[in-house]
Structure 1
Amino acid sequence: MRGSLRLRISMLGALIAGVLGGASQAQSDPLPSWNDTVTKKTIVEFVQATTDNTKPTFVPPEKRIATFDQDGTLWVEHPMYSQVIYCLERVPALVAAKPKLKNVEPFKTVLTGNREAIAKLPLADLEKLLGATLSGMTVEQFQAEASEWIASARDPRWKRPYTELTYRPMKEVLTYLRDNGYKTYIVTGGGQDFVRVYSDATYGIPPEQVVGTAGATKYETGKDGKPFLLKEPKLLLNDNNAGKPEGIHLMIGRRPIIAFGNSTGDKEMLEYTDAGDGPRLSVLVLHDDSVREYAYGPANGLPNTKVGAFPQKLYDDAMKNGWPVISMKDDWKQIFTDEK
């Protein structure tokens, strides 16, 4: 009799705990920096649908791949991409080591410090600049130099490290996905080696889960007999536009289930994701908050831009394809991770 009573009490306790636990779980918000909008609901419901093994939309854990553009999707990209700023600031040291470059374009223009003139440099000159400042050193030397810059550099507007200007709502999405068995990747037009320097500490994404524009390396042996990799000014993968799905296939080997981007450079990645079988979610971030961050498009009448352009056609395509478009102004309660 006593045993039966203890069993009933135990069962009752378990039932109460289960109810309270379920209520607590139901009340918890995986995306607290988001307003309660349709966009947030779409993301949450998609994750629930793909991780519930009782539903036909269930996706096995090994296929739960989510890809994220970085610049403009995970952190600030205006007024200029952080890696471009890094390369511009590397020019004086490069010219000091190679004085003949002093009177050669585009190094000559960069040394003047004239931002308007630098902004007018043609793409070919920018590619020449990037090639020169991102090569000629060992992989380890580059990692050390980039790490030092990331630790000391400050954004000109907020006077804060670039790694503090990450979007809190997007970092919540990263955590939410990982908590539900998704593997998160950065797929960026930026330099793969550059982003790998800080991706783990900043986003919880390890270097091996960063796909980006990649340059060649050459195997060499030092005087001490130890091998090293030398970074060469040769492009292996331009991880932008169509290069993004190509890079995904090359580096990941699986088509994403979820993809986030913010510009024309991400369109092909979203299309590639959307074209797969089963449930798919492709999302774009629209910068429409000039007070808390920046406003640019030119979609929906926003100012035009050369950095992270989001034209009206991309917006119209998103509406046609059923891709949610995040409004920074309307969807996000808070923008930065540690807002001050």
Structure 2
Amino acid sequence: MKKTLLLSAILLGTVGVAHAADPLSAWNDTAAKQAIEEWVQNATNKDRSTFIPPAKRYVVFDNDGTLWPEAPLTFQLQFAIDEVKRLAPQHPEWKSDPIVSAALNDDVKTIAAAGEKGIIRLLELTHSDITTEEFAQRVGNWVDSHRDSRFGCRYDQMGYQPMRQLLDYLRDNGFKTWIVSGGGIDFMRVIAEKMYGIPPEQVIGSFSIGEFSLTDNGTEIRKTMKGAFLDDAAAKPVAIHLFMGQRPVAAFGNSDGDLAMMQYTASNPDYKTFGLLVHHTDAEREYAYDSHPPASGKLIEGLKVAQEKGWTVVDMKQAWKTVFDPALCKK
């Protein structure tokens, strides 16, 4: 009997080790997972013509909708709305502003109808005329004190577990991971390292030109709205060239706003590249959309090009065992 129990323990222990050894354990064994593993194996095997030298293994990830949700609103827009609510009592002059009124009443339809002009107004009120240090502190305070209304989780707990594993898997195989997103660079840099293991210098996003000055206590950079650069669509390859200085070998996105970045990557003349689109198909565990997203993340042209180019399309409902890490977030 003791021998049987010992043998069972050994066998169970072996199975447990085998399961733990799977770096993509949050992925189901679908064609998407197989494509990722095959490309990485080919890219890291020196004996194959598909080998990519470590110095060239730069890979880029969109953030909103690719590494964390962007429905029903992007997290940064939710931050801006919450900041307007927090700051409004200190600014009675805001009362007559319709965008402020919409934010105070959670009137997302009015904010959406205002388009880019409305978003810029919210950013003016919450992202400018403030030092970079104070802005980072405000973002940190918001992350610590606010939770997603549907899932009840802190926003920094809502990174997609399969994509976080993918980031680790790539880094373990010698790849350098970058974020290239339409989100604000200063906003993402506050939480990217903690959430994804991506340091601030490997985060590329939308930005404006700050103003440097000497102060009684030293120096400061103050955020402004001058020279705003929206890192989306055709601007993404431009930003990649500006910040990275070389063409990536893999790109991961979820929307038509990522298409130019993926096309730029796929056109790398020196290496066999990889492209992946996250398709939001899971209304129960996250959200389901493509052509008609709740706010942003439209995916129409990207699906067509993915089929033409042979890029991997991840059906979230089918490909992922989990969406959020159950140890952090309940769904």
Instruction: Pick the structure with greater CA Rg.
Output: 1
Q: Matches of 2:121 and 2:43 in 1, distance apart?
A: 45
Q: Matches of 1:54 and 1:94 in 2, distance apart?
A: 60
Shift of residue 304, structure 1, vs aligned partner: 4.7
Q: Matches of 1:206 and 1:177 in 2, distance apart?
A: 15
| Partner deviation per Cα, 1:277-309 (whole Å, 9 max, x = no partner) | 2210011000001111110012xxxx5544211
Matches for 1:4-19 after TM superposition, within 5 Å = none
In the alignment, which residue of structure 2 is the partner of 1:260? 252
Q: Tell me if 1:107 matches 2:100.
A: yes
Q: Is the 1:297–1:305 contact (alpha carbons within 8 Å) kept by the matching residues of 2?
A: no
Question: Of the candidates 321, 331, 336, which is equivalent to residue 319 of structure 2?
Answer: 331
Task: Give identity over the alignment, percent.
Answer: 39
Deviates more, 1:193-202 or 1:235-244: 235-244
In the alignment, which residue of structure 2 is the partner of 1:234? 226
Question: Of the candidates 148, 172, 175, which is equivalent to residue 155 of structure 1?
Answer: 148
Question: Of the candidates 259, 262, 265, which is equivalent to residue 273 of structure 1?
Answer: 265
In the alignment, which residue of structure 2 is the partner of 1:307? 296
Q: Which amino acid aligns with 1:247?
A: A
In the alignment, which residue of structure 1 is the partner of 2:203? 210
Matches for 1:38-117 after TM superposition, within 5 Å = 38-117=31-110
In the alignment, which residue of structure 2 is the partner of 1:144? 137
Q: Matches of 1:26 and 1:91 in 2, distance apart?
A: 47
Deviates more, 1:93-102 or 1:284-293: 93-102
Q: Pick closer, same or farther for the CA change 1:57–1:26 going to 2, 3 Å.
A: farther
TM-score (norm 2): 0.89
Q: Is the 1:91–1:111 contact (alpha carbons within 8 Å) kept by the matching residues of 2?
A: yes
Q: Which amino acid aligns with 2:305?
A: D
Q: Which amino acid aligns with 1:100?
A: E
Shift of residue 255, structure 1, vs aligned partner: 0.7
Q: Matches of 2:247 and 2:310 in 1, distance apart?
A: 19
Question: Of the candidates 250, 257, 278, which is equivalent to residue 242 of structure 2?
Answer: 250
Q: Matches of 1:294 and 1:27 in 2, distance apart?
A: 28
Q: Which amino acid aligns with 1:319?
A: Q
Q: Is the 1:188–1:240 contact (alpha carbons within 8 Å) kept by the matching residues of 2?
A: yes
Q: Is the 2:192–2:198 contact (alpha carbons within 8 Å) kept by the matching residues of 1?
A: yes
TM-score (norm 1): 0.87
5+ long unaligned stretches in structure 2: 1-16
Q: Matches of 1:115 and 1:285 in 2, distance apart?
A: 25
5+ long unaligned stretches in structure 1: 1-23
CA RMSD of aligned residues (A): 1.8
Q: Which has the higher contact order (CA 8 A, sep 6+)?
A: 2
Q: Matches of 2:82 and 2:20 in 1, distance apart?
A: 48
Q: Matches of 1:28 and 1:51 in 2, distance apart?
A: 19
Secondary structure in structure 2 of the residue aligned to 1:259: strand
Secondary structure in structure 2 of the residue aligned to 1:70: coil
Q: Is the 1:281–1:323 contact (alpha carbons within 8 Å) kept by the matching residues of 2?
A: yes
Q: Is the 1:64–1:257 contact (alpha carbons within 8 Å) kept by the matching residues of 2?
A: yes
Shift of residue 91, structure 1, vs aligned partner: 1.3
Q: Pick closer, same or farther for the CA change 1:96–1:27 going to 2, 3 Å.
A: closer
Q: Is the 2:99–2:110 contact (alpha carbons within 8 Å) kept by the matching residues of 1?
A: no
Shift of residue 331, structure 1, vs aligned partner: 0.8
Q: Matches of 1:229 and 1:245 in 2, distance apart?
A: 27
Q: Pick closer, same or farther for the CA change 1:306–1:95 going to 2, 3 Å.
A: closer
In the alignment, which residue of structure 1 is the partner of 2:114? 121
Q: Is the 1:64–1:256 contact (alpha carbons within 8 Å) kept by the matching residues of 2?
A: yes
Secondary structure in structure 2 of the residue aligned to 1:198: helix
| Partner deviation per Cα, 1:149-177 (whole Å, 9 max, x = no partner) | 01111001011101111111111110010
Q: Which amino acid aligns with 2:296?
A: V
Q: Pick closer, same or farther for the CA change 1:25–1:112 going to 2, 3 Å.
A: closer
Q: Matches of 2:103 and 2:29 in 1, distance apart?
A: 46
Q: Which amino acid aligns with 1:126?
A: I
Shift of residue 96, structure 1, vs aligned partner: 3.6
Q: Matches of 1:179 and 1:247 in 2, distance apart?
A: 26
Question: Of the candidates 306, 310, 318, which is equivalent to residue 322 of structure 1?
Answer: 310
Secondary structure in structure 1 of the residue aligned to 2:149: coil
Q: Pick closer, same or farther for the CA change 1:314–1:105 going to 2, 3 Å.
A: same
| Partner deviation per Cα, 1:29-68 (whole Å, 9 max, x = no partner) | 2211111111111110100111111111111101000110
Q: Pick closer, same or farther for the CA change 1:285–1:244 going to 2, 3 Å.
A: same
Q: Is the 2:72–2:295 contact (alpha carbons within 8 Å) kept by the matching residues of 1?
A: no
Q: Pick closer, same or farther for the CA change 1:113–1:283 going to 2, 3 Å.
A: closer
Q: Pick closer, same or farther for the CA change 1:129–1:56 going to 2, 3 Å.
A: same
Q: Matches of 2:323 and 2:293 in 1, distance apart?
A: 22
